[in-house]
A and B are shown apart, each in its own frame.
Chain A
Amino acid sequence: MPSTIDRISASTSRTPSRRAIGRTWHHALHVVEWQLMAFRAVWRSSVLTSFVQPLMYVAGMGLGVGALVNRNASSTSALGGVRYVTYLAPGLLATTAMMVASMECMWPVLAGFKWQRTFHAMVASPLEPADIVLGEAIYVGLRSLLSAAAVAVALTIFPATRSSGLLLAVPFAGLCGLAFGMPIAAYAATRERDSAFPAMQRFVITPLFLFGGAFYPLKQLPVAAQALAKFAPLWHGVELCRAATLHRLQIGTAAVHVAYLLMWIAVGLVATVHSFRKKLLI
């Protein structure tokens, strides 16, 4: 049976007056502010994951393996006529955003409920679960954008990966990050322990990183694996980023990819609000 608070919060968020929406934004920004403060403590190691690691991948895989790939004319045509490093680089924007966002939505979310109980403290203030979730979403979106931007900066170092399309690829990667972050946050909020997270990384994130279309065309995979890869948001993010940096963006296809990512984000948001409510308003 829902409590009074639950019903009140449900009614405010279901029939949003203009004032209520303004308040939600305002509240959500408090959450973002708090998150950014916490982020300041660890930003150094995150520069590492979003800047140095992609840089190493470009140098190691892009250039090194690239030299082996480029020997074969047939391979170059399979990659759409571009050098391997040029093909690989934009995919790293999407994979990095995916990894950063999914990390942010696993342990930190559980910590907010269990170890640090920040969300419980927040909900004791005028903040409501929906405000907190919106704040989380804005923060995770920002983190995804930031990490994709860091990758983009790294990519401007190499002539073969430099492209004005990176400007467009960054927001695409941001969407891709959110499309992972929100559903994962919804799931993380239902957990009591962190035991499932490493498995999620091992059996979802890593396979997508390897088989999600960033390193080689999806066509090389068996049909069933292709379907799985296309179901996840990553491939759509990779395709968008790649089309942007190679200046091959087609409005129709791009719109479909973006819509698909937005659908994941929307479903994720609704599910996260639901699981946050369940945890916070007992």
Chain B
Amino acid sequence: MTIALRVIPPVIRTARRPQRMIERSLMVYRRTWIIIVSGFFEPLFYLLSTRVGLGQLVGDVSVNGKVVDYATFVAPALMASSAMNGAVYDSTMNVFDKLKHSKTYDAVLATPMGIGDVTLGEIGWALLRGLLYATTFLVAMVMLGTVHSPWALMAIPACVLIGFAFASCGLAAVTFIRSWADFGWVPTATMPLFLFSATFYPASSYGKWRPLLQISPLYHGVALVRSATTGTADWSILGHATFLLAMAFFGLWVGSKRLNRLLLS
């Protein structure tokens, strides 16, 4: 129990009201819900495009020994990627303005709220939104016939885990960002992950580069979601989940420490 607690950074342990931060986000998006709704379409477009376009050109692919059509193969990867993209957006763009420009967090910290509340609250919001997207995306996958197992439901917690890993690392990263121009670099991190995480073709296609897949956090996410929606899970999912959890806590440590230094100096 004590060891389990020690994984959690000290300022996070003192958090008492992170839910207030989420309440604030709900208040903001109550008026701009259209932004949230529209965010759902991008992965859906990718899914449709795969189905009508590339799917016809590619044909069938094999996943963990099971042969499936290309859309079934790519759909879970798109689901995982959209969990990553959403979490990165929520924890970087969305946080940066409040951190550097509007000074929202300075105002929050003048109340009984602490750094832990801010950190957990913002990550929590990213996860909540991720949960919403994952659920709707899964529904779309079912309607497009790209789900083949009741285990597909496990794809939702898998996406939340992906969101947790990327949101906390995004939060850590945003504390190093100086200006809006720096956001031009965010795709440098997310795009290679998106393209090279066994997203669009099986890990076997990577040949001698295959071991490199292991360092891509999205690869672990894709593997988790894909084994859920295609119903081909095995013990390897434990390894993938551990990787993402470790990444989440790493981000939590760095992020909360950096925020503490930036806001309470």
Q: Do chains A and B touch in the complex (CB under 8 A)?
A: yes
Residues of A at the B interface (CB closer than 8 Å) are 41-42, 44-46, 48-49, 52-53, 56-57, 59-61, 64-65, 67-69, 71-72, 75, 78-79, 84, 195, 198-199, 202-203, 206-207, 210-211, 215-216, 220-222
| B59 in contact with A72 (CB, 8 Å) | yes
Which among A49, A206, A215 is the interface contact of B184 at CB below 8 angstroms? Answer: A49
- Choose the segment among B8-16, B114-122, B195-203 that binds chain A (4+ C-beta atoms closer than 8 Å): B195-203
Out of B52, B191, B201, name the residue touching A68 (CB < 8 Å).
B201
Residues of A within 8 A of B61 (CB): 68
Asked, given contacts A79-B57, A211-B49, A215-B49, whether A45 binds B205 with beta carbons under 8 Å apart, the answer is: no
Whether B200 lies near A61 (C-beta < 8 A) is yes
Q: Which of A45, A49, A206, A221 contacts B52 (CB 8 A)?
A: A221
Query: B205 touches which one: A68, A84, A206 (CB < 8 A)?
Result: A68
Q: B45 touching A65 by the CB < 8 A rule?
A: no
Contact of A48 among B32, B39, B184, B196 (CB under 8 A): B184
Q: Which residues of A contact B32 (CB under 8 A)?
A: 195
Contact B200 A42 (CB under 8 A): no
A42 with B181, Cβ < 8 A, contacts A64-B200, A220-B56 known: yes
Question: In the complex, are the beta carbons of B201 and A216 less than 8 A apart?
Answer: no
Inter-chain contact B42/A61, CB cutoff 8 Å: no
Q: Which residue on chain B has the smallest CB distance to residue A218?
A: B53
Q: How far is A60 from B58 in the complex, measured between Cα atoms in Å?
A: 15
Closest to B206 in A: A64
Please state if A57 and B49 are interface contacts (CB–CB under 8 Å).
no
User: In terms of DSSP, what is the predominant structure of the interface of chain B?
Assistant: helix
Docked-complex contact A216 and B53, CB < 8 angstroms:
yes
Interface of chain A, helix or strand or loop or mixed? helix
Given contacts A49-B187, A61-B195, contact A75 B58 (CB under 8 A): yes
Measured between beta carbons, the chain A residues less than 8 angstroms from B59 are 68, 71-72, 75
Query: Which residues 73-128 of B sit at the A interface, judged by CB distance below 8 A?
Result: none
Chain A residues with CB under 8 Å of B58's CB are 65, 68-69, 72, 75
Q: Which of B49, B70, B191, B195 contacts A210 (CB 8 A)?
A: B49
Cβ contacts under 8 Å, A67 to chain B: 201, 205
Minimum CB distance partner of B50 in chain A: A210
On chain A, the residues within 8 Å of B201 by CB distance are 64-65, 67-68
Q: Which residue of B lies closest to A68 (CB)?
A: B58
Q: Say yes or no: B45 contacts A210, CB within 8 Å.
A: yes
Please tell me which one of the listed residues B42, B185, B205 contacts residue A202 in the complex, with CB atoms under 8 A apart. Answer: B42
Given A67-B205, A78-B57, 8 additional A-B pairs, CB 8 A: A53-B187, A60-B195, A65-B58, A65-B200, A75-B59, A202-B38, A210-B46, A222-B52
Would you list 13 pairs from A and B whose C-beta atoms are within 8 A, ordered by A residue? A42-B184, A46-B184, A48-B185, A49-B184, A52-B188, A53-B187, A65-B54, A69-B57, A75-B56, A198-B35, A210-B46, A211-B49, A222-B52
Chain A residues with Cβ below 8 Å from B185 are: 45, 48
Q: Which residues of B contact A211 (CB under 8 A)?
A: 45, 48-49, 53
Within the complex, the shortest CB–CB distance from A197 to chain B, in Å, comes to 12
B41: Cβ under 8 A from any A Cβ: yes
A75 to B56, CA, bound (A): 8
Chain B, interface size category, equals: 20 to 34
Given contacts A78-B57, A84-B57, A207-B45, contact A48 B187 (CB under 8 A): yes
Chain A CB within 8 A of B192 CB? yes
Given known contacts A60-B200, A65-B200, A72-B59, A215 and B191 CB-to-CB distance under 8 angstroms: no
**Cα distance, A60 to B32, chains bound together (Å):** 35
**Inter-subunit contact A206/B57 (CB<8 Å):** no
Residue of A nearest to B39 (CB): A202
Instruction: List the B side residues contacting A44 at CB < 8 Å.
Output: 184
A57 x B195 contact (CB < 8 A): yes
Which chain B residue lies CB-closest to A216?
B53
Contact check: which of B45, B57, B196 meets A60 at CB < 8 Å?
B196
Complex CA distance for A57 and B41, rounded to whole angstroms: 21
Contact A220 B187 (CB under 8 A): no
Top 7 nearest A-B pairs (CB, nearest first) are A45-B184, A60-B195, A216-B53, A210-B49, A75-B57, A68-B58, A69-B57
Q: How far is the CA of A206 from the CA of B44 in the complex (A)?
A: 11
What is the CA–CA distance of A81 and B192 in the complex, to the nearest angstrom? 29
B191 to A53, Cβ gap below 8 A?
Answer: yes
A64–B59 CA distance with the chains assembled, in angstroms: 14
A-chain residues with CB within 8 Å of residue B56 when the two chains form the complex: 75, 78, 216, 220
